[in-house]
Amino acid sequence: MARDVYRKFVQREIKAKKIEIEARKAIEAQKALKALEAQKGLNRALELQKAIETQKKLEAREAIKAQKAIEAQNAVEAQKAIETQKAIEAQKAIVTQRAIEALKATEARKEIEAQKVIVAQRAIEAQKAIDAQKAVDSQKAIEVLSQKYLDTYTRLCPTPSCRVRIQKDGGCDSMRCVKCQKSFIWYE
């Protein structure tokens, strides 16, 4: 009888031990499951972090591209501004050059007009000189004719200290100086 009791006791103990082992296994399985869930959560977090970093890198590359595009556009606009400025300066230079050439042409015309005036003035002066010379020549011709007349129709008194001019007005060739009363023959 006692042996049966012991056997039952042992059997209960064994059963209790089995239950305890099963319970421990269940707890450990639960712990393992929790650990696995935790690991999965960590992995998801890591993947999310990687995705965020990838997105950030992508955005940073896009931002750099956009910045480069802006800089390229700025460079193009700066180049256009430089070319526009050069074109304006070239146009100004052309206008200035044309103004200088117009001024030179005006000065050249003025110089030609002044030269024409000088030439005309010289022609007038030359004509005046010719006229003056003609007048002188006419005067000389008159004087020569007068001298010829005097030589032909008058004589100087033979008295060296008198030398008055005497005109023969018809009559005989016997002459008398009215100043010094010297008598002389006209043709002598």
Q: Taking the CA atoms of the chain, what radius of gyration do you get in angstroms?
A: 75
Binding of residue 61 to Zn ion (CB under 5 A): no
| Residue 150 Cα to chain centre, angstroms | 85
Dihedral sign, Cα of residue 170, residue 176, residue 179, residue 182:
positive
Could you tell me how many residues of this chain bind Zn ion (CB under 5 A)? 7
Tell the residue number behind the tokens 């007038």, with chain if given: 124
Reduce the DSSP state of residue 137 to 3 states and report it: helix
Residue 182 structure tokens = 């010297």
Question: Judged by CB under 5 A, which stretch of 55-63, 85-93, 147-155, 156-164 contacts Zn ion?
Answer: 156-164
Which residue is nearest to Zn ion, using beta carbons? 177
Question: Judged by CB under 5 A, which stretch of 77-85, 101-109, 132-140, 174-182 contacts Zn ion?
Answer: 174-182
Tell the smallest beta-carbon distance from residue 146 to Zn ion (Å): 22
Tell the residue number behind the tokens 């002459």, with chain if given: 175
In degrees rounded to 5, what are phi and psi of residue 167? -100, 135
- Give the residue with the Cβ less far from Zn ion, 2 or 160: 160
Binding of residue 180 to Zn ion (CB under 5 A): yes
In degrees rounded to 5, what are phi and psi of residue 154? -130, 165
Show the site string, 103-142: x = touches Zn ion by CB under 5 A, - = not: ----------------------------------------
Binding of residue 166 to Zn ion (CB under 5 A): no
Binding of residue 182 to Zn ion (CB under 5 A): yes
Cβ atoms within 10 A of the Cβ of 157, count? 20
Q: Which of 17, 24, 34, 179 binds Zn ion (CB under 5 A)?
A: 179
Interface contacts to Zn ion, rule CB under 5 A: 157, 159, 162, 177, 179-180, 182
